[in-house]
């Protein structure tokens, strides 16, 4: 009976380790996955849209991340501090209070204070989203079907417009019928 319990425990550990290794391997395959997750969780899509082209949103006309000329450091500062006088929120608790943003304090910004984000992010999360924008969004031109599928996953109806509009060929063997 003890042998069976030991074998069960060993198999359980092996199974858990397999899941951990698989998750690490998937992250290793695409290091921008963490940034994409932050892009979604931080609701960057609310204004910048999934494709980063920007446009109208609840915060106003967001800038196109596809056409941005911002560097990694500037993206990090923008996400950390928001943009004074616009709807771009700040994502770090204490921005303008405990840490200066754009060399300004809350008093300096006054009535141009950007809104507080609904979700605060850690520095490593902000770095990850900046890396995602630089690798997968900035300078990419018009959104494609393949980019849409990479963002939403196979079978997303959201991506049909890109397939039908001929932005990019659908992967071979893909069913024409959209999945929910």
Dihedral angle sign, alpha carbons of residues 4, 6, 7, 9: positive
Q: pLDDT tens across 138-151, in order? A: 999 999 999 999 99
Confirm whether 167 is domain-assigned.
no
Q: pLDDT tens across 73-98, in order? A: 999 999 999 999 999 999 999 999 97
pLDDT of residue 3: 53
Do 97 and 49 fall within a single domain?
A: yes
| DSSP letter, residue 118 | S
Confirm whether 56 is domain-assigned.
yes
Q: pLDDT tens across 104-148, in order? A: 999 999 999 999 999 999 999 999 999 999 999 999 999 999 999
Do 68 and 19 fall within a single domain?
A: no
Confirm whether 158 is domain-assigned.
no
User: Which of the two residues, 177 and 97, has the higher pLDDT score?
Assistant: 97
Domain that holds residue 62: 31-141
Do 38 and 116 fall within a single domain?
A: yes
Do 23 and 42 fall within a single domain?
A: no
Do 82 and 123 fall within a single domain?
A: yes
What average pLDDT does the segment 38-50 reach? 94
Confirm whether 88 is domain-assigned.
yes
Do 8 and 82 fall within a single domain?
A: no
Tell me how far the alpha carbon of residue 20 is from its chain's centroid: 22
pLDDT of residue 74: 97
pLDDT of residue 166: 55
Do 131 and 58 fall within a single domain?
A: yes
Distance CA 138, CA 69 (A): 8
Confirm whether 21 is domain-assigned.
yes
Confirm whether 77 is domain-assigned.
yes
CA atoms within 13 A on the CB side of 123: 3
* Residue 55 main-chain phi, psi, to 5 deg: 110, -165
Tell me which residue of 111, 58, 54, 114 sits closest to 81, measured CA to CA.
114
pLDDT of residue 173: 38
The overall average pLDDT reported for the chain is 80
| DSSP letter, residue 91 | -
Give the number of other CB atoms < 10 A from CB of residue 60: 12
pLDDT of residue 19: 37
Do 87 and 23 fall within a single domain?
A: no
pLDDT > 80? residue 59? no
pLDDT of residue 176: 38
Do 79 and 48 fall within a single domain?
A: yes
Report the number of distinct structural domains present in the chain: 2
Q: Tell me which of 141, 156, 172 is where a domain ends.
A: 141
Beta bridge partners of 95: 99
98-104: list long-range contacts, CB under 8 Å, 24+ apart: 101/77, 102/77
What confidence tier does 60 reach under pLDDT thresholds 50, 70, 90? low
Do 77 and 15 fall within a single domain?
A: no
pLDDT of residue 136: 96
Do 132 and 52 fall within a single domain?
A: yes
166-171: list long-range contacts, CB under 8 Å, 24+ apart: 167/142, 167/143, 168/144, 169/145, 170/145, 171/146
Dihedral angle sign, alpha carbons of residues 120, 125, 127, 129: negative
């Amino acid at each position: 009976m003890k042998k069976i319990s030991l074998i069960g425990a060993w198999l359980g550990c092996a199974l858990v380790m397999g899941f951990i290794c698989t998750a690490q391997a998937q992250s290793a395959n695409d290091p921008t996955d963490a940034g994409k997750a932050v892009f979604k969780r931080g609701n960057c899509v609310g204004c910048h849209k999934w494709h980063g082209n920007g446009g109208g949103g609840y915060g106003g006309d967001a800038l196109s991340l596809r056409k941005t000329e911002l560097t990694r450091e500037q993206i990090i500062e923008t996400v950390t501090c928001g943009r004074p006088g616009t709807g771009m929120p700040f994502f770090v608790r204490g921005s303008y209070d405990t840490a200066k943003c754009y060399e300004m304090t809350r008093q300096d910004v006054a009535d141009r204070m950007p809104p507080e984000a609904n979700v605060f992010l850690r520095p490593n999360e902000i770095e990850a989203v900046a890396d995602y924008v630089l690798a997968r969004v900035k300078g990419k031109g018009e959104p494609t079907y393949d980019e849409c599928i990479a963002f939403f996953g196979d079978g997303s109806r959201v991506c049909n417009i890109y397939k039908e509009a001929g932005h990019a060929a659908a992967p071979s063997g893909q069913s024409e019928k959209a999945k929910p």
